[in-house]
Amino acid sequence: MKKMKNIRKNVDEKVFPYISTNRRNNRDYLKSAYPAFAELLDTFQKNIPKEIFDGNARLLKKNWENYIVNIVGLENKIKTITDLYDQTRRKYLAKYYQNIAICPYCGLNEPDTLDHFLPKKKHPLLSITLYNVIPCCNNCNHKKKEYDSSVESISFFNPYLDEGNSNWLKIEAISITNQSLDISYAFNEAAFDNENQRDVFKVTCKELDLLPRYACRSIEFILNQKKNIQKFCTKQTEVGNYFEIMLKQLPQDDFWKTQLCRYIAENETAQEIIFKYCNIANRWFFCKNSMRGPGYKESLDNYLNFIGNNEKRYIYFLSDVEFKQKIVCISNDVEGVSLKDETNFSVFVPGLIDFSDCEDADFYIFNSQGCTRNSYKYEGCKHGVLVLKKNL
């Protein structure tokens, strides 16, 4: 799914007001021009401030599609309004956006929250106005924070009002650094004829941290294809054919994947790098002595001296010469290691590391006191989070 996608035709039509020439009082006008909003107000048990009816009716009469420009002048003329958005209203609002399967900001995750395009804390008049509510993923909602397009010099991308651009993203390079795959994306300035649209896309890309997010997801995508590439590609040119076939199978609006597959299919250097990367095993250190697991509270340095490995790393892949006994040691330098004696826990590993050949390995965690009491088995790895299960 391409990022910054216009989703107006995909949401419930009741999200957007009707055209109405009714000029009765604002309460009646609102019910006529925007019945969905009027129904939402009826869910409140308490009296609704008259400013809510008046303010939203005035925005509709001025043309709601210009509400971002008109809201500040309108708010300056009315009293302070309390934010009416709460969990009850959130559940009520969510039903209008059920057809949105992917976040319109990033195209990476399912929408699991609602973003107020103009922040509800700053614009409480719009806190439950449906066309100010955008279904999106929690990651984008968190990164967007309180960005206020009504006062900033450059507006944020609005999935209801702005048109998408399928060429704004490009791959800058694919490389291997210390046996780890690197994929870097860049903002494609040449994709825009309109300077204002370019600035909108650029500020949205920056605020949502999209380029590194696409890079991380792309590396994970290649990792998931690694076994198939090893199986079906015996030479570099077959890597290009593999991704050309995959490109034909992807939906056209699966944007970042199509960009990645097209780049590899058309770029011989990228094919060479992917072929090389998919044939690199983890850097297993083969112990010539008899293998043993580390003892309880044994320091990592002491254990590595026994094994004969003096490298300074975060994660150590150790094996006997016959590759029958495999041990993975994780140092306390790895951020986010949970050291509680739980059945399962997650480890945030630095970078994306291929653990596909570690399913039969024993994992040991080292903290400042030495090796912890338990050993673990590999459960899975997603988005750089390694999940381990305690050996019983």
pLDDT tens by residue, 365-386: 888 889 988 899 998 877 667 8
In whole angstroms, what is the distance from residue 107 CA to residue 342 CA? Answer: 34
For position 90, what pLDDT does the model report? 83
Looking at this protein, which amino acid is placed at residue 335? E
Instruction: Grade residue 319 by pLDDT with cuts at 50, 70 and 90.
Output: confident
| Region of poorest pLDDT, from 98-107, 157-166, 194-203, 248-257 | 248-257
- What CA–CA distances, in Å, run from 111 to 97, 104, 105, 137? 9, 8, 10, 4
More confident residue, 39 or 352: 39
Longest CA–CA span in the chain (Å) reads 90
Instruction: Grade residue 1 by pLDDT with cuts at 50, 70 and 90.
Output: very low
For position 331, what pLDDT does the model report? 83
- What CA–CA distances, in Å, run from 232 to 219, 235, 266, 297? 19, 9, 18, 45
| pLDDT tens digits for range 228-237 | 898 888 888 8
| pLDDT tens digits for range 29-62 | 888 899 899 888 888 877 788 888 889 999 998 8
DSSP 8-state symbol, 190: G
For position 384, what pLDDT does the model report? 66
Helix ranges, the chain (H): 26-33, 35-41, 50-61, 67-75, 87-94, 138-144, 195-207, 210-232, 236-249, 255-266, 268-278, 300-307
Provide the angle, in degrees to the nearest 10, between the axes of the packed helices 210-232 and 195-207.
80
For position 350, what pLDDT does the model report? 56
For position 235, what pLDDT does the model report? 87
